[in-house]
Structure 1
Amino acid sequence: MRPVVITGLGMISPLGGDCQSSFEATLAARSAICRVPEALSAGLPNLLMAPAAVEPTTLLGSQEAGLDRAAQLGMVAAQQAMADAGIDLHPPDADRFGVFVGIGFAGAHTLDAMFARYYTALYGSEQLRKRATVVHPLSVPRMMANAVHAAVSLRYGLRGMGNTYAVACASSAVAAGEAMRAIRHGYLDAALVVGAESMLTPGSFVAWNALRVMARVYGDDPAASCRPFDRERSGFVLGEGAAALVLESDARARSRGGRPHAELVGYGASSDAHHLTAPSAQGQAAAMRQALAEAGLEPGQIGYLNAHGTATEAGDVVESQAILDVFGAAAAALPISSTKAVHGHLIGAGGAVELALSILAMHKGWAPPTAHLEDLDPRCPLDYLPLNAREIGPIDAVMSNSFAFGGSNASLIARRVRH
């Protein structure tokens, strides 16, 4: 099987408009979490969110103005990753270059705006009622799950196989893993992987609030309200953003003089078959074990783990149990953190964002902290890097976990390129 390398990275997150600024903010534990403005809160008090640090339309051309916000974020990340990889529009091997996208809920902004307009008109004046059903003719293409895939493929002329994965919080981790396997097994020579999400709308906040998994405002400091692995954690904060990775066969990258950031070596995916929303340590451990086996690595060879770490009561404890189960004696020395404490839960984009941050940690030799972790829950007895970044020196491999509602689990492993 062919080695697969990552030659391009791109990101737009609540922490910054690119990979470097986002990573620097994670190291500094600089939180992007804030209160939800009244216009978006749908009458619910004390809601929190982590909006993108940069307005995506300022980084795009007029042709992307009509896309849903999630697709705009995805396009920004894709542009950065392709530029970082040094790949132009319409590559000569476009038939062997695919697009793999992960997104949890596509078209949230388009859907919310459409229904708001419809009901406002329906219960308005007689003149407005007559126009209640008049909506934008591209409403469906804007909302469809594969809107990001379509926009990116059209922009770059990429005609290879690819798919859109809607696996809740594991979506873009699954997209990256499946793209890796498509290249490894010879179906493609390259792939652009994009994770994108934007659900900061009144309708989304009402729905998520009903699940009782959203963080409460911590004291008088909204920015410190997402507290993974802390005794006083109360849930996660919904964020928006996107990340993209260019994957290539090692042979293709070498032939064109590409400079790999890392090799993507392991991918594990499992289903809990346990509960719709409650996590399973057994299922999570299965994904991590698969990733290690595919990478050909022992647990002690992982130098940093970016945990799923959502700051929910059950989630953090179950993930800790799963890590202990897989890593055994090596778990005590493993640096682990949850960057969601500062950038929020990016749902479908989370896997790609957190994998990219993990790769940067490997290169920089510094692991980001778990911000706001002041009082470790004794049921989470691992080295979760509380409060401050840590210098971890030269490490060879990193793991990133993404676990989803519905019981879908994905783990990814990247390592230094070996030449």
Structure 2
Amino acid sequence: MTKDLKRVVITGMGVVTSLGNTVDEFWKNIIAGKSGVGLITKFDTTNFKTKFAAEIKNFIATDYFEKNEARKYDLFTQYAVAAADEAIKNANINFDNLNRNKIGVIWGSGNGGIQTFQDQVGEFIKGNKQPRFNPYFIPKIIADIPSGVISIRHGLRGLNFSTVSACASSNNAIIDACNYIRLGKADMIITGGSEAPINESSIGGFNASKALSTNNDNPEGASRPFDINRDGFVMGEGAGALVVESLDAAIKRGATILAEIVGTGMAADAFHLTGTHPDGEGAYLGMIDALEDAAIDATAIDYINAHATSTHMGDESELKAIMRVFGERKDLNISATKSMTGHLLGAAGAIEAIISVKAITEEIVPPTINTGEVEPAYNNKFNLTLGTAQTKQINYAMSNTFGFGGHIATIILKKYK
């Protein structure tokens, strides 16, 4: 039996980022072109090639949890709960007036509790390999725990799981949320992603794979998407949360609708363990899939929040794919906001979806900072929004995310009318 797909809208958003722990503060710093990057304070970087990252500032776990409860959760879960709390408040939700059996949580993380894992294994080795593990060790490290904790916190008994697709994880979570609501499997889903990867294991591991920038003399300017002198990405941390619900449910409860999700696309590079396809094959397929799902032509897109991590192969392959989909379009604004936030890995898609929603509602395109000399083949082919934000009416925005393993996830958001 077939049935009509439901329209899906966004009604609330929340963040924890290096540029602010509320959406308002975060957006103010994004459109101002501020960098959230600085020298790492979480551990001694003396022996590390990279000594900087985009760290969270002023996050106090006991603002969200009782002290004893906070100890049960790795930072990536704490960030998730904080962002979800803001999104729920922002959406003006009273769960007592809703059917909790039809409200779910879908969350994304590429790494899970990597800090907890590092700490516990370190203690095991220091303790002469005596197995004295924290009783919360396993629930602190597994990637699905934020979705469980958020559901327990609010008594949400609908569908509940987590997505893991490296840096595409939270875009995949948003896509799943959209599709389940379209099918009527849920009225509302809290979705997004979180990461807390600024530690010895992550920095050392990404250094070993030569993925991170080592521009220690200029941390704030180290993330340089599309620049010919880019030398790798800058690690970030944090969380982004969105309240996604059916249009019918949102109207019924009198919600303020921020934007509509109209297109989703997924694909695979099927090429390399960590590198993108040199011609952006997966990126091209994902964008085409999203456009077909939205039933719009490429000319309808006004703004792209690019994945653009500031790696040599990644940035160029994405630009090739964009050129293939959109052709030369000087009216098409593109921005690479990782130049400000750093790369939040599995949380990147959620944060950049929030940026895209704000770009639509505020009619402001955020800037790409730090980029001085654009790859010659793509210079003046698009409006890369270099240096400063630009005002623009945006009806459709696209947000791309790509992950190690060749995972591709693209969403298209529309101004709600």
Normalising to structure 2: TM-score of the pair?
A: 0.94
> Gapped runs of 5+ residues in structure 1?
123-128
Counterpart of 1:104? 110
1:11-410 equivalences in 2 (<5 Å): 11-37=15-41, 39-41=43-45, 43-62=47-66, 63-89=69-95, 92-122=98-128, 132-217=130-215, 220-280=217-277, 281-329=280-328, 331-381=329-379, 382-392=382-392, 394-410=393-409
Secondary structure at the aligned position of 2:330 is classed as helix
CA contact (8 A) 1:57 1:65 kept: no
AA aligned to 2:398 is M
Secondary structure at the aligned position of 1:412 is classed as strand
User: RMSD between aligned alpha carbons?
Assistant: 1.5
Shift of 1:91: 5.5
**Alpha-carbon distance in 2 for matches of 1:261, 1:390:** 20
**Alpha-carbon distance in 2 for matches of 1:205, 1:82:** 33
User: Are residues 42 and 199 of structure 1, via their aligned partners in 2, closer, same or farther at CA, if it must alter by over 3 Å?
Assistant: farther
**Alpha-carbon distance in 2 for matches of 1:308, 1:287:** 12
Q: Percent identity?
A: 32
Secondary structure at the aligned position of 2:162 is classed as strand
Secondary structure at the aligned position of 2:15 is classed as strand
**Alpha-carbon distance in 1 for matches of 2:43, 2:253:** 50
**Alpha-carbon distance in 1 for matches of 2:338, 2:43:** 25
> Gapped runs of 5+ residues in structure 2?
none
CA contact (8 A) 1:97 1:191 kept: yes
**Alpha-carbon distance in 1 for matches of 2:37, 2:411:** 26
- Cα deviation digits, residues 334-366 of structure 1 (max 9, x gap): 000100011100001000000100110111111
CA contact (8 A) 1:56 1:73 kept: no
Shift of 1:384: 1.2
AA aligned to 2:361 is H
**Alpha-carbon distance in 1 for matches of 2:162, 2:410:** 18
Counterpart of 1:9? 13
Counterpart of 1:126? none
AA aligned to 2:195 is E
- Cα deviation digits, residues 25-76 of structure 1 (max 9, x gap): 1111111111224834372144221111331415312133421000000000
Secondary structure at the aligned position of 1:258 is classed as coil
User: Are residues 409 and 334 of structure 1, via their aligned partners in 2, closer, same or farther at CA, if it must alter by over 3 Å?
Assistant: same
CA contact (8 A) 2:49 2:207 kept: no
AA aligned to 1:288 is M
Range with bigger deviation, 373-382 or 338-347: 373-382
Shift of 1:79: 0.1
User: Are residues 42 and 141 of structure 1, via their aligned partners in 2, closer, same or farther at CA, if it must alter by over 3 Å?
Assistant: farther
- Cα deviation digits, residues 313-343 of structure 1 (max 9, x gap): 01111000000111124x3320001000111
AA aligned to 2:321 is A
CA contact (8 A) 1:90 1:157 kept: no
Shift of 1:90: 5.5
User: Are residues 38 and 152 of structure 1, via their aligned partners in 2, closer, same or farther at CA, if it must alter by over 3 Å?
Assistant: closer
Counterpart of 1:125? none
Secondary structure at the aligned position of 1:169 is classed as coil
**Alpha-carbon distance in 2 for matches of 1:90, 1:352:** 27
Aligned pairs, how many?
A: 407
Shift of 1:17: 0.8
Range with bigger deviation, 100-109 or 82-91: 82-91
CA contact (8 A) 2:264 2:411 kept: yes
AA aligned to 2:190 is L
**Alpha-carbon distance in 2 for matches of 1:42, 1:100:** 38
CA contact (8 A) 1:42 1:203 kept: no
